[in-house]
Every structure is written in C-alpha cells, then in structure tokens.
A and B are shown apart, each in its own frame.
Chain A
Amino acid sequence: MKSAMTIVNYDPRLVQSKNPYPKGPNDWKRFFSFNTDAKVIGIQYIVTALFFLLIGGLLAMLIRGELITPPSDLFDPTVYNGLYTMHGTIMLFLFLFPILSGLTNLLVPPMIGAPDMAFPKLNALAFWLVPVFSIILLLSFFVPGGPASSGWWSYPPISIQNPLGKMINGEMLWIIAISLSGISSIIGAVNFVTTIIRMRAPGMGFFKMPIFIWTVLAAQLLQLLGLPALTGGAIMLFFDLTFGTSFFRIEGGGDPVLFQHFFWFYSHPAVYVMVLPVFGIFSELFPVYSRKPLFGYKFVAVASFGITILSLVVWVHHMFYTGTPMWMRNLFMFTTMLIAVPTGVKVFAWIATLWGGNIRLTTPMLFCLGGLFNFIFGGITGVMLATVPVDIHVGNTYFVVAHFHYIIFNTIAFGIFAGIYHWFPKFTGKMFYEGLGKVHFALTFIGATLNWLPLHWAGLLGMPRRVASYDPEFAIWNVLASIGAFILGVASIPFILNMVSSWVRGKSAPPNPWKAIGLEWLLPSPPPHENFEEDIPTVLNEPYCYGLDKPFVEDEQFYVEKSLKKH
C-alpha cells in the first residue's frame, strides 16, 4: 500500500521510452566518441580533468620554484604572471568543474534509480565543449605576447591593456575559453536539475534522496542563478578588449568596479558549487565507514539550500577595500558570517555521525577525515576573512591564498579523491590497491599541510599575493611551502599508478564492496547501460539506515541477487 502511494512522483514514460542508445559498444573506443551514456561521459570528464590536474600541478610547481627564493630569478616576471594566471584558470575551469561534473554524471542516475540523464545528447555536448575550450586555453601559450596574465579574476583595466595591440591575444582566448566553459556548465546544470526533479525512482521523495543528490541540486541551481552574470561580464570584457567598447573602460565613461560585481556575483558562489557536492560526498561516506545513520539527515539536507541562498548575497566581501561604503561592508560582513551557520550544522552532524561508530580507515575514509580536518581549519580562517577590519589587513595577501587553497585543495580535492576511491569499484568493476591509496593519502596530506599552513603567516606579515619576488623576511614560509608543493607533485605518482594498474588488472569488484546502503550499490559493478533497466526499485525509507532494520527499497533481496548475476 505504502509503495503504491509513493509511486506518484515517478514518471512512468521513462521506463516505456525506447533506449536512446541501442548499440553502445562496450569497448574503449566509446570513451573517445560522442557517447550519450552518462557513465561514459562521467569517466570522460574525470579522466580529462585529471589530465589537467597534472598540467595545473606542473604550473604550480613552477610557481613554487620561482618563489622558493626572494628575488625573481627563475622566470621573467611577465612569464610568472602568465603561469600563475593559467594555473588558477586550469585548476578551476579545467580540473575542478569538469571533475565534479564527472562524478555527478556517474552518480546521479544510479543514485536516484534513473536509466540515464534527462537530456543525454546535451550531456555529451556539455562534455565535448571541455576539450574545445581547453585546447583554446592551452593554445594561448603560443600566441604572440603569451597567455592571459592578469590573474583568474581578469580585472579590467589590467586585463584589457593588450600591450602588443594584436587582435588575437592570450587574454582574448582566455575570455573565449571561460565563456565556453560557462555555457558548458549551464547546459550541464539544466540537465542535472531536470534529472533530479523528474527522474527519481518511485517512492524517492525529496526527504528520501541521498545527501549527495541534495547537494548537487543545490549546487546546480546556483550555477543556473549565478553563471549568467559571469558569462555576461566576460562577453562585455571581450567587447572592451577587442572592439573598444567601454563597459569597463574609464575613457568612455565605464567603471572598472562594475566588472568586479559581475565577476564575484558568480565566482564566490562558484566555490559553493564546488564544495557542496564534496559536502555530499562527506555525507555519503561518513555513514558507510562508521556504520551509522547520518546524524540529523534532514538538517544536513536543508542546510545545503541555506548555503545556496546565502551564497548569492555575499559577493561584496571580495571588495571590502575597493572604496565600498561602510554600510555595504557591514551588511555583507553579516551575510557572509551567516554562512558559517548551515556549514557548522554539517560539520557537527558529520562528527556526531562518527561518534560511537565502527570506524574503518579505508583510503576513501582517510581522505574524508583529512578533508574534514582541513575544512574546519579553512572555515575558521574564512570567518576571520569575513570580518572587515581583519580582511582589510590580510585581504589580497598570502593569508587569502592559504585560506582558499585550504578550501579548494585541502577540502574539495580531498573530497574528490575520496569519492573517486569510494566509487571506483562500482564504475570500473575493479578494486583499487589499498596500500597505494594510503601512500597517496599520506603524501597528499603532508604535502598539502606543508604547502599551505606556513603561508598563513607570510600573509599575516603582509606578503601580497601574486608577487614574483618578495622581501627576504618572508623566505622561510615560502621555502616550506615549496617543499610541500613538490611533495604534492610526488603524491600524484602512487595515485596514477593505482588508478591505471587497478583498472587494467585489479581484482574484480563485487556489487557492494563496502556494504553500503544506496541504490547504486544494488547494481552490478560496473552497472549495465540503463542501470536498473525495467526493474526500477521502489524506495521505502530514507538512506543511511545502518543498524536500523529499515529496508531501503522494496524487495531488496531481488536486487542483491540480480546484481550478483553476470550481465
């Protein structure tokens, strides 16, 4: 009776619709084609993004090589500026956004019991834009004058100075790449939101969705609301640079500060677009590896939307010292501080989930715990930066660089690694090597801490960010940071080794190696094309009922047996 009532929110046309990809060949070539299978697209995204992680990481090591000594001695300062600009751009737009789209593509359909994404062709289009804009961005290294070198903020007037006066220049290619990336993300967001709202399994009401789905929904709605501002701003910048309009040029009566509003209206929420799915990963993994229900599921779920709404009204905290009037500084300080509340709810809920659990320190759990540890630290420095007087001193210094790397690498990338390890057996059908995974974790944690912890002190003492040379009193912090960066470079070796060798010749994975509760774990590893095919499960209870004797789906045994059969 219960299931018959809850079936209402499921769209039965989905099961009846014809398979949109009747002949997806199950070989390696599908990864290089315009494939519309979300699982193929997910892996395409992840592998592409990891490739760019290596390139961005290489640039990072070049930057740290320059900064290991005070004078500017490794590169000409113009080259340094291009390298750090490209490092930031590649890491954000070519690594983090694509890799999260990849994980989302892999996880959303199986987790909600859908056969695929709502718009498979759009999905493939969104992915194939990534190599297009990546190549445009990388080509900018080879145009006369070098790549964009005004930082990933690309503030005018510095970004539209165009020293060589050529029509085709690094900055122009940069803007084109960023706009295409924006378009790709908007297409992706439309797809994810539609899929989550329309294609959930029968019985899966909003408060029975896994937290990862909640966070993806919150993050992708944020993309839809925020990205048009950045993409619009980028197009105006393109016109100013190429056709001499004056949206931001003072020569024609424009205002350079206007761009900062367009930029931060999206680019601050962008951090939440990246961190929310990672919060989702934390919320998925802590219950599995401590074998307990997620503490306060509903609070954690709703907190994601608290973050979404608040993050749209905090952008001016990046502009506390641009001449922003007092009332505006105070207002945006209050809104920024409020974000600590829903975020705190999540952190406390995770710790309460761990409390009294049966903790298993597998590689994904280690990355989660490391990520949470770093996030608590980065969150506290974030609150410090939100207070105007402190921000006026440490804003635009290495304190900010250290803070946002604590969020963007030490939290987000840690969460991504946790997610990759956790779901690796599910989507490749192979187990990874625990030993190599633990080596990867240890090197990453040590390297990341050594890299970014000392830089807080450099910033507090007044070392501005983006400098190619600095006064000798900052040397000690920078030497430590550079050593950390090189350790991080080494950390990529066990990771690549693990991924490649396990996928090629690892032990084959059972359907549910972690004994986890969730729709994706009721599927074979790797799942078939259309996930559950004709037998979509009916969801009965909220997820994470470890030890509660509440079945997640109707007739669970049927799915467990089906998943064990070779397909």
Chain B
Amino acid sequence: MNTKIRRIKKSGFSKTFIIIFAVILNIILSLLMGYWSYSWLPIQASEAAHYVDNLFAFETTIGTFIFLGCTGTMAWILVFNRAPKYDESNGEPLEGNLKLEIIWTLVPLLLVLGISTYSTSVNYKLENLGSKIKYDYGAEVPFVEEKKVFDYGPIDVISRQWNWEFVYPNGIHSSELHLPVDKKSNFRLITEDVIHSFYVPAFRLKQDIIPGSVITYSLTPTKEGVFRLRDAMFSGAYFSENQTNVIVESEEIFYKWIKETVKKELQNGLNPAGSLYQKRLKNGNRGWATVKPAPDPKVNDAGIKSRPHDS
C-alpha cells in the first residue's frame, strides 16, 4: 500500500494565526455562554442559589470551551479532510503521540479535581442537611435536637400521597409554607407513606424525605415572593399534582400571619389529588390501579390553589 499524504501545505505562520484566532473566539463564546447561563435558571431566592448558579456558570463556561474546541475541530476536519469521490487512499499514518496523550490525560485530571474541590467548598458553605434519625414504624416522630444555629423553627414538613402540610412551632397547620425572609428556617422532614422530595427550584434545594426517618434541614430564603414547592421523587398516581407554594414574606408580615392564623378554625386544606380521584371515581374508576389519596389535611390556613407564582 502506498501512502499518499494529501494536505494543503500552509505556512507555519498562518497555521499559528488560525489556531490563536480560534482559541480566542472560543474563549469569548465560552465566557458569553457562562454569562447567559444565569438566565436559564429560576430567580435566586435563597442563600444557596447564588453559590449553585456561580458553580453552574463556571461549569457552563468550561464545558462550552471543551465542546466548541472538540466539535470545532471536527467541523474543520469535515470541511478540509474529506476524501474526493472514489479516492480510497490512506491518510497520514499517525499511530499516536505519547506526549500529547499524557497531556490529554493529565489536563482533564487536574480540571476535574479542580472542579470537585470547588464544589466541595460550596458544599461546606451550604450545609443545609442536618441529621437523619431513624424511628420505629408507627412510633411518634422523635424530636431531633438541631445542632446547627437557626433563626426560626423547627417547622414540620409532612409529605403524603399527595399533599403537603406544614406544622409551625406554635401548633399552626398550614397547606402553604410561609417563611420569613433572610432568616434561617429549620425543618423536620417527615413522610407518612412513600419517599417524597422537598424541592423548591427557586431555592436550588432538594432533599428526599425517607419513610422511617426524620431529616432535619435548614435554609435561608433571601427574596420575598411566591415560589413553587414540587415533589421531585416519583410518588405514584398523582405525583405531578403534589405541589404547593412557598410564600416568603418580610418578618413583620410573617409574624402577623402567624398571629392571625392561630385564631382560625381547622378546615380542609389543599388536596388536588383528592378532587381528581373523586372525578375518576365518578367516571367509572377507569385507568390502572392506584392507592387512595390521603384525606384532606386539617389546617388553619387552607392556602390558595391557583396562587400566581414567581418561579
């Protein structure tokens, strides 16, 4: 077999120029992409959001650089190295280049170690997760002493198939989660049936709630508004309806709400799955099997189902 080397011989100067130009262009585009990446995320409504978004933007920048570097090279090859029709000759028979191979093993290694170290430092800054204590089935949920400092709480977050209920330290039951802004609130996450997940996208926080365990959790909202709380761990038939609102208010309004709600009688709270299930029964119970939704929670503040939300 005769080897034919068909490559447009460029002068060393123009080749270097092209590479430098491509790298600069790539850096500019990557930085732009990292800048844009903030707009892909919901509004930042907690202390954690800022850290998560910075990390995400950093990863987007590096990721874009690598993606454009690799695919740009592929595009270059596809434009300039195409074989003419019926040409079945061989390309340059390069078998490898030890120096290059060591570089592209070591550089990614250092890069991922760097990103991991950065993420670890973010983890230690956030520290939302407290302790996870197991308790016996059917027994009372144990009181867990939270070792970390917090300003308000603990609020019991009770998840069910398929509704949420929040119990405040003074005994108020609510269907929506009211929180004071800029105060670190503490929670005890409890489930009465299967695994659920406490997920507020605007807070960038998610924590699974495990049957048979109580998990303590803290977070600090930093923006007033109405945010969606979504169950993020599949929990059965009406999983997608298992949502409620988080209402972050100024401290003043929050305490006013506490004072007013305490006086309210217990009433049926939000339970979208309940009404959907009644509709299903009315239509002849068609569809595949499901467990019955939990009954309407008895709460002091029933909440508003279609409250407009900010994120």
**Which A residues lie at the B interface, using CB under 8 A?**
72, 75-79, 81-82, 144-147, 149-151, 155, 157-158, 161, 163-164, 169-170, 250-253, 255-257, 290-293, 295-299, 321-323, 326, 329-330, 333-334, 337-338, 340-341, 344-345, 347-349, 351-352, 354-361, 369, 372-373, 376-377, 380-381, 383-384, 387-390, 392-393, 395-397, 457, 460-462, 464-471, 515, 545-549
A426 CA to B52 CA in the complex, in Å? 51
Give bound CA distance, A161 to B230, whole Å: 22
Decide if B96 touches A467 in the complex (CB within 8 Å). no
Q: Give every chain A residue within 8 A of B237 (Cβ-Cβ).
A: 77-78, 81, 149
A88 CB, min distance to chain B CBs, angstroms: 11
* A396 and B232 contact, CB distance less than 8 A: yes
User: What separation, in Å, do the CA atoms of A164 and B290 have in the docked complex?
Assistant: 8
Cβ-defined contact, B241 with A337, below 8 A: no
Chain B residues in 8 Å Cβ range of A298: 96
Selected from B73, B91, B201, B213, the residue in CB contact (under 8 A) with A292 is B91
What is the 8 Å Cβ interface bit string for chain B, positions 112-126, against chain A (1 contact, 0 not)?
Answer: 110110011011101
Chain B residues in 8 Å Cβ range of A469: 240-241
Mark the stretch among B19-27, B75-83, B247-255 that contacts chain A. B75-83
A461-B90 contact in complex given A321-B206, A369-B78, A373-B71, C-beta closer than 8 Å: no
| Residue B194 CB within 8 A of the other chain | yes
**CB-contact partner of A395 in B74, B91, B206, under 8 A:** B206
List of B residues within 8 angstroms of A253 by Cβ: 136-137
In the complex with contacts A76-B280, A157-B211, A380-B63, A358-B90 CB distance below 8 A: yes
**A88, B248: Cα distance in complex, Å:** 38
A349 to B205, CA, bound (A): 38
Whether B108 is near chain A, meaning CB under 8 Å from some CB there, is: yes
Q: A322, B240: Cβ atoms under 8 Å?
A: no
Are A376 and B67 in contact, with the CB atoms below 8 A? yes
Contact check: which of A149, A396, A466 meets B288 at CB < 8 Å? A149
Report A30 CB to chain B, min CB distance, Å.
Answer: 36
- Contacts A255-B212, A337-B115 given; does A351 touch B56 at CB 8 Å: no
Asked if A297 contacts B96 (CB within 8 A), the reply is yes
Q: Which 3 A-B pairs have the closest CB atoms?
A: A462-B201, A146-B288, A547-B90
Considering the complex, give the chain A residue whose CB is closest to the CB of B66.
A380
Closest chain B CB from A184 CB (angstroms)? 27
Cβ-defined contact, A356 with B236, below 8 A = no
Q: Which of B1-9, B175-183, B260-268, B295-303 contacts A (4 or more CB under 8 A)?
A: B1-9
**B168 interfacial contact with A, CB 8 Å:** no
- Contacting A at CB under 8 A, from B80-113, are 81-83, 87-97, 100-101, 104-105, 108-109, 112-113
Of chain B, the residue at the smallest CB distance from A306 is B105
Give the docked Cα–Cα distance between A344 and B104 (Å): 8
| Contact of B95 (CB < 8 Å), options: A297, A347, A359, A380 | A297
- Given the known interface contacts A359-B83, A372-B74, A387-B115, the answer about A547 and B92 at a Cβ–Cβ threshold of 8 Å is yes
* A299 & B96 in contact (Cβ 8 Å cutoff): yes
Which A residues are in CB contact (< 8 Å) with B206? Answer: 321, 392-393, 395-396
Tell me, rounded to whole Å, the shortest Cβ–Cβ distance linking A463 to chain B.
8
Contacts of A155 in B (CB 8 A): 195, 233-234
Query: Are A546 and B96 in touch, CB under 8 angstroms?
Result: no
> Could you tell me how many residues of chain B have their Cβ less than 8 Å away from some Cβ of chain A?
100
B114 → A minimal CB distance (Å): 10
- Which of B81, B204, B212 meets A357, CB within 8 Å? B81
Given A340-B108, A380-B67, do A256 and B211 touch, yes or no (CB 8 Å)? yes
Residues on A with beta carbons closer than 8 Å to the beta carbon of B94: 292-293, 295, 352, 355-356
Instruction: Report the minimal beta-carbon distance from B63 to chain A, rounded to whole angstroms.
Output: 4
Tell me whether A347 and B197 are in contact (CB under 8 A).
no
Q: In the complex the two chains form, is A158's CB within 8 Å of B287's CB?
A: no
Q: How far is the CB of B188 from chain A (nearest CB, A)?
A: 13
B199 at the interface (CB under 8 A from A): yes
Name B272's closest neighbour in chain A (CB-CB).
A469
Q: Give the residues in chain B near A468, CB-CB below 8 Å.
A: 239-240
A251 in contact with B194 given A157-B211, A388-B123, A396-B233 (CB within 8 Å):
no
Asked whether A387 lies within 8 Å of B83 as measured between CB atoms, the reply is no
A161 near B228 with CB under 8 A, answer: no
B76 to A: closest C-beta gap in Å: 9
A214→B82 CA distance, assembly (Å): 29
Asked if B199 and A330 sit within 8 Å, CB to CB, the answer is no
Which residues of B lie under 8 Å from residue A376 when comparing CB positions? Answer: 66-67, 70-71
For A295, what are the chain B residues with a Cβ–Cβ distance below 8 Å? 94-97
Contact of A351 among B3, B70, B126 (CB under 8 A): B70
Task: Tell me the minimal C-beta distance from B82 to chain A in angstroms.
Answer: 5
Which A residues touch B32, using CB under 8 A? Answer: none
**Closest Cβ neighbor of B199 among chain A residues:** A464
Q: B42 an interface residue at 8 Å Cβ cutoff?
A: yes
